[in-house]
Amino acid sequence: MLLNSSLRLRKFALVALLFSATLEARPALEPAGLAAYTETARDIYVAGLLLAPGTGLDNIYLAPGPKEMEYRIATRRISSRGFSGTLLLQAEMGSGQRAPEHVIGVINNLKSHMKGALMQGDQFVISLSADDATSFYLNGTELLSVDDGSVFDFFFAGWVGATSSSLLRDSLLSGSIDTGTMARYRALVPAEKRVATTAQWTQPAPTVEIAEVAAVPIAAVATVTVAAATKTVAATEAAVAIPAVTSPLTEPASTLAPAASDAADQEVNTPAIVAATATETITNTTASAPAIAESTEFEPTTLSNDQSEPVQLALASDASVLVIDDRDYQRQLATYISEVMTSVFANVKYPRRAVKRQREGKVELLATLTAEGELAGLALENTSGFDILDKAAAKAIENAAPFPELTDVAREEFLTEDGSNYVVMIPVTFRLQ
């Protein structure tokens, strides 16, 4: 027992030493700009633009290193495919061009080092050194490095390029940092165990001697070509335009419980608020009822030929294989999530008592779904601070179910660790206007 404890202590000490050495090898940079990145109503990450102290933001895109793009993961889980798809789509939007072949090669190489999904609190960094090298880090461990600063520049265009999202670009380059965003940025840190886990991703797999290998027939599989998605992109949040009232009261938050009947607690119908765009990947916009924002559809890109390497998405239901690239993976994922969010928002009702008492807040619930889209469970992930709003959000999800059957991409993204069901995080924001 003592020997095992000693070994564990040595293991964690070694991980801490490696983490410390990695940080010391990188220059001491500070956040010069922060912004929350939201996609299909979900906060995916907090973006941190890290620069040397005293570095100005003028012409930062053309400025040499050292500088870093830090992604502090805010969502509970995002697969490596979903994350790389997000990186590619952002960069291509900001630069106005398809990813060059050498960048695609770097992305595919990077994914080979990522042995699992990114989890909330993970810190993913793309770094440009003073000698023009691009490096990728996860929780302090270097995953990959290439002697090519143009790789960093391409991804950096996704944040600050001329055609990048103005919401992200303006926040990062404003010269001031919102205190709430800074608090959230500081809170998103990986646990010690998670640091140790991701540090092992770069270690070579142990070799196993096999005396004899039996021949296994290879089953024929079908390949399916997937067209670009053409459905609504992103539902943002439910919000009701109601005049503010005076005399706010306090009400403690509590866990979800069946709502009691109360004639004074009748609900205000909230039509679905849908904001979709083909050019802005940040979707923090809020629409006021009864006016509903017009929705647009995904349009197939007209840029040059796609040189990315397709990924093979294994299906759980049969032996077929779906061949798609990271961009289509992310587009299809966004389309499915949008359908879920639109259905939920169509059922959101703002409790009248909450309106009178000026109750506002954001609720995040974890919906456990079957492959057919049936609601198998519901858990409160983050409270709004008011029990009445938490219950209203839960009721909206229950009334919206069943949801569309999970697509193959949705199954890949939301599968639980035990493989039994699928968990989707559904945020609902209540805001008086």
Q: What pLDDT does 40 receive?
A: 74
Tell me the per-residue pLDDT of 129-183, one tens digit each, with 9 for 90 and over.
999 999 999 999 999 999 999 999 999 999 999 999 998 999 999 999 999 999 9
Q: What pLDDT does 412 receive?
A: 86
For residues 63 and 59, give the distance between their C-alpha atoms in angstroms, rounded to a whole number: 6
Q: What pLDDT does 294 receive?
A: 29
Average pLDDT over residues 383-402: 95
Of the candidates 293, 253, 247, 284, which has an alpha carbon nearest to the alpha carbon of residue 429?
284
- What strands lie across the sheet with 311-314, from one edge to the other? 223-225, 321-324, 311-314
Q: What pLDDT does 268 receive?
A: 57
Who's near 133: CB < 8 A, 6+ residues apart? 145, 146, 147, 148, 149
For residues 403 and 400, give the distance between their C-alpha atoms in angstroms, rounded to a whole number: 7
Q: What pLDDT does 282 receive?
A: 34
Tell me the per-residue pLDDT of 325-357, one tens digit each, with 9 for 90 and over.
788 888 888 899 999 999 999 999 999 999 999
For residues 95 and 307, give the distance between their C-alpha atoms in angstroms, rounded to a whole number: 16
Q: What pLDDT does 433 receive?
A: 83
For residues 109 and 317, give the distance between their C-alpha atoms in angstroms, rounded to a whole number: 29
Q: Is the pLDDT of residue 249 over 70?
A: no
Tell me the per-residue pLDDT of 19-59, one tens digit each, with 9 for 90 and over.
444 444 667 899 999 999 988 777 899 999 999 998 999 89
Q: Which two tokens stand for residue 344?
A: 């939920």
DSSP-derived secondary structure for 226-255: -PPP-SB-------B-----S---------
Of the candidates 158, 212, 182, 211, which has an alpha carbon nearest to the alpha carbon of residue 72?
182
The answer to whether 320 and 408 are in contact (CB under 8 A) is no
For residues 85 and 74, give the distance between their C-alpha atoms in angstroms, rounded to a whole number: 17
**Domains in the chain: ranges and CATH:** 17-202 (3.50.70.10), 223-430 (no CATH)
Count the residues in the chain. Answer: 433
For residues 91 and 155, give the distance between their C-alpha atoms in angstroms, rounded to a whole number: 5
For residues 275 and 40, give the distance between their C-alpha atoms in angstroms, rounded to a whole number: 9
For residues 168 and 69, give the distance between their C-alpha atoms in angstroms, rounded to a whole number: 13
Q: What pLDDT does 12 receive?
A: 44
Q: Is the pLDDT of residue 207 over 80?
A: no
